[in-house]
């Protein structure tokens, strides 16, 4: 049935086959391009290397301050009286 008729009729007969084929080829090419880009295909710059981060003095200072604030918050919660919101609203304080 694809080969019957004059030239225009044969071209029209192939259209239902060619359109999905073209769409599939375009989708595949986009997937391939994305995969190549994610693998740095054709990159001109030299690749970078992973380096290990080391803690500096500022990092230790930040950690100490954070632990200090946490310890202060726990101390205040356990040993100092802070009225709760519902106590303030109820007027029982």
In a domain, 4, yes or no: yes
In a domain, 79, yes or no: yes
Q: What is the mean pLDDT of residues 3-24?
A: 88
| 27-72 per-position pLDDT tens digit | 999 999 999 988 888 777 777 778 888 999 999 999 999 999 999 9
Domain that holds residue 36: 1-40
d(CA 68, CA 63): 9
Q: How many domains does the chain have?
A: 2
pLDDT at 41: 80
R_g over Cα of the chain:
35
With a CB cutoff of 8 Å and minimum separation 6, the contacts of 38 are none
Predicted structure pTM score: 0.42
% of the chain residues with pLDDT over 90: 45
In a domain, 49, yes or no: no
pLDDT at 1: 73
pLDDT tier at 93 (50, 70, 90 boundaries)?
low
């Amino acid at each position: 049935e694809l080969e019957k008729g004059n030239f225009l009729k044969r071209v029209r007969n192939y259209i239902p086959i060619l359109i999905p084929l073209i769409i599939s080829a375009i989708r595949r090419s986009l997937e391939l391009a994305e995969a190549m880009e994610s693998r740095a295909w054709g990159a001109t710059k030299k690749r970078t290397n992973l380096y290990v981060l080391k803690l500096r003095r500022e990092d230790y200072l930040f950690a100490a301050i954070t632990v200090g604030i946490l310890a202060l918050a726990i101390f205040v919660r356990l040993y100092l009286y802070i009225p709760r919101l519902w106590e303030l609203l109820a007027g029982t304080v």
